[in-house]
């Protein structure tokens, strides 16, 4: 797990302003820290001088009060100004980090969704739906901690720490050498603890994915589980996974607390070493008290950023793990896709030895056929022979071998794919605004003349039965066919959930479209649909590797 992945720069341009402003504010904060420590050291030394001297001569103290002048007003003003600048720089850095986090998350999410769209439905079917949702929602949201806590401290480590070390070299070479020698101990501890944290975090993230999948499976299958009275076992299953997730989370927390203790201990020992050498020289009168106080105030500031980076790294580890998954999506090339060519003849579809391909292997027998305008061609055959994948190849979402020419098509698959919203929004999905008259016509043609376009639907078309949802998906395809004047309609099992009377009404709509010169390719097992077809093309066997 890298502290900063350069792929963020490639996939989220919003990181660049964040890095630039972070570096600038880090330098400003370092200057403010130096000014604050210098002024506070002089103020403490001035007010401590009468207490330390008593009745003895100042010369008895060697260089302890060397160069100390009465500039209290100047030091007070400088200390206050430095404190204000430091506070403002820190606040600005956190504000910019939070704004940057929102921008970067939006860009990563948009790029990932765009790439998933390029990979196509075939790729999506190979992924866990709950897993994709988890990565692109909660996973990316966990980057808030990365940008608001971890990244600002990383900026401070890169900018503040080197500048403060250079200042130490200027005022006290010995203390600077001790800091340089001791400082690498903390990053070494961070690496060792980070390896343990990565293992624990990866296991926690994996269990969270299992929990998401299990919950989604239960929700989807709840009606069936209730029907067979098996819901109790699923409750036990979810409880077991939840308990494992709790256990993994506690392990991550234990590692986090342990790492915080180790980093604080290392930082404390480092500061103590410097304090011992400074105190020894101060007692001997070989070191001015102003420089001693300045060094003692400055050394903790050198170690604070790196210690806080280690602590913040654990808070952001979940987001980093999810970001790796998003990068994997963005870098997934998928299968080489090929788009059907535009028909050179009057045919709306022309196939010559076309075979759908998955994983580089043909998964269906070669099909050769031509569909002319005004024809209804039904693809029939046993389940699993590749009828649906052949339709996907026609609409450009499935890789294939052979020669395939297909006109632009309106399409409706086996799953309605309805969204939360009104009926009209679902029918006109993809268009910026719905044509109300065309929505009504499409619903009537799909035998949904009773359905009000303003009716609100729940998630996945909640509120409609299976057959009604199927017809609403058909209405969407009819709307697109009319709205964009497309020559081809491709349907996959459009009447599988319909009763005979309603099915006959849908068939009449398909015949009317054919009479208007539209070409139709329909996958169906239903005898009534096959009887209405101009031709039936049978696919008999599935090709296996």
pLDDT tens by residue, 387-399:
888 888 888 777 7
Q: Which two tokens stand for residue 129?
A: 């739906």
CB 495 within 8 A of CB 529: yes
What is the predicted pLDDT for the residue at 58?
45
Residue 201 banded pLDDT, cuts 50, 70, 90: low
User: Alpha carbon of 130 to those of 222, 238, 247, 453: distances in Å?
Assistant: 16, 15, 21, 31
**CA-to-CA separations, 345 to 34, 80, 167, 350, 372, in angstroms, rounded:** 79, 83, 80, 9, 9
Q: Is the pLDDT of residue 55 over 50?
A: no
Helical residues (DSSP H) of 406-543, grouped into ranges: 423-427, 436-445, 466-483, 500-515, 527-532
- Tell me the whole-structure pTM to 2 decimals: 0.62
Count each helix (H run) and each strand (E run) in the chain, helices first. Answer: 19, 11
Report which of 7, 199, 15, 216 is spatially closest to residue 104, judged by C-alpha positions: 15
Query: 60-69, 233-242, 435-444, 494-503 — which is least confidently predicted?
Result: 60-69
Q: What is the pLDDT of residue 185?
A: 75
Nearest to 323 by CA among 512, 112, 540: 112
The residues, any chain, with a CB within 8 Å of residue 523's CB and separated by 6 or more, are 378, 379, 380, 387, 388, 391, 491, 492, 493
pLDDT digits (tens, 9 = 90+) for 119-152: 776 677 677 776 777 778 777 777 777 777 777 7
| C-alpha distances in Å from residue 363, one per residue of 332, 480, 507, 537 | 22, 30, 30, 17
pLDDT in tens, 378-429: 999 888 888 888 888 888 777 788 888 888 899 998 888 888 899 999 999 8
In this prediction, residue 475 carries a pLDDT of 94
Most confident by average pLDDT, 34-38, 43-47, 289-293, 324-328: 34-38
pLDDT at position 458 is: 85
**H-type alpha helices, 127-230:** 129-134, 140-141, 143-145, 151-171, 173-182, 185-227
Where residue 489 falls among pLDDT bands split at 50, 70, 90? very high
Confidence of residue 2 (pLDDT cuts 50, 70, 90): low
The mean per-residue pLDDT over the stretch 187-207 comes to 69
Residue 76 reports pLDDT greater than 80: yes
* Closest among 248, 246, 261, 162 to 204, alpha carbons compared: 248
- Read off the pLDDT of residues 4-29 as tens digits, 9 standing for 90 and up: 677 777 888 777 887 788 888 888 98
């Amino acid at each position: 797990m890298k502290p900063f992945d350069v792929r963020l720069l490639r996939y989220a341009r919003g990181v660049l302003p964040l890095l630039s402003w972070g570096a600038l504010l880090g330098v400003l904060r370092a200057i403010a820290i130096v000014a604050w420590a210098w002024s506070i050291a002089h103020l403490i030394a001035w007010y401590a001088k009468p207490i330390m001297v008593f009745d003895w001569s100042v010369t008895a103290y060697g260089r302890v009060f060397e160069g100390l002048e009465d500039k209290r007003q100047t030091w007070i003003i400088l200390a206050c100004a430095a404190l204000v600048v430091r506070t403002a720089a820190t606040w600005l850095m956190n504000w910019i980090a939070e704004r940057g986090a929102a921008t970067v998350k939006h860009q990563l999410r948009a790029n990932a969704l765009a790439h998933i769209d390029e990979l196509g439905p075939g790729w999506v079917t190979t992924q866990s739906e709950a897993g994709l949702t988890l990565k692109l929602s909660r996973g990316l949201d966990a980057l808030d901690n990365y940008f608001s806590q971890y990244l600002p401290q990383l900026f401070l480590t890169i900018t503040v720490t080197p500048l403060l070390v250079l200042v130490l070299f200027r005022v006290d070479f010995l203390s600077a050498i001790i800091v340089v020698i001791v400082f690498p101990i903390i990053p070494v501890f961070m690496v060792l603890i980070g390896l343990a944290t990565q293992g624990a975090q990866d296991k926690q993230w994996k269990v969270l994915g299992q929990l998401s999948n299990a919950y989604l499976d239960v929700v989807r299958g709840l009606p069936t589980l209730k029907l067979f009275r098996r819901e109790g076992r699923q409750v036990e299953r979810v409880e077991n996974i939840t308990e494992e997730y709790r256990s993994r989370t506690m392990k991550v927390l234990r590692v986090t607390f342990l790492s915080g203790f180790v980093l604080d201990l290392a930082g404390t020992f480092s500061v103590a070493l410097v304090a011992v050498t400074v105190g020894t020289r101060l007692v001997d009168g070989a070191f001015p008290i102003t420089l001693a106080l300045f060094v003692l105030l400055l050394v903790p500031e050198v170690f604070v950023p790196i210690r806080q980076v280690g602590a913040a790294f654990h808070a952001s580890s979940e987001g980093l793990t999810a970001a790796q998954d998003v990068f994997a999506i963005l870098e997934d090339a998928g299968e080489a896709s090929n788009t059907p060519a535009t028909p050179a003849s009057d045919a709306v579809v022309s196939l010559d030895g076309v075979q759908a391909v998955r994983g580089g292997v043909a998964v269906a027998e070669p099909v050769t056929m031509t569909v002319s305008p005004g024809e209804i061609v039904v693809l029939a055959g046993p389940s699993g022979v590749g009828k649906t994948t052949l339709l996907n190849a026609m609409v450009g979402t499935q890789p294939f071998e052979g020669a395939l020419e297909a006109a632009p098509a309106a399409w409706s698959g086996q799953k309605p794919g309805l969204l939360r919203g009104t009926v009209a929004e679902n029918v006109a999905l993809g268009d910026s605004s719905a044509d109300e008259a065309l929505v009504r016509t499409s619903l009537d043609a799909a035998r949904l003349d009773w359905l009000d376009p303003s009716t609100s639907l729940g998630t996945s078309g909640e509120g409609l039965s299976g057959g009604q949802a199927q017809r609403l998906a058909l209405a969407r395809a009819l709307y697109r066919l009319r709205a964009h004047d497309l020559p081809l309609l491709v349907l996959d099992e459009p009447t599988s959930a319909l009763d005979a009377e309603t099915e006959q009404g849908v068939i009449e709509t398909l015949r009317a479209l054919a009479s208007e010169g539209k070409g139709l390719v329909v996958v169906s097992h239903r005898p009534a649909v096959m009887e209405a077809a101009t031709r039936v093309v049978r696919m008999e066997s599935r090709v296996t590797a």
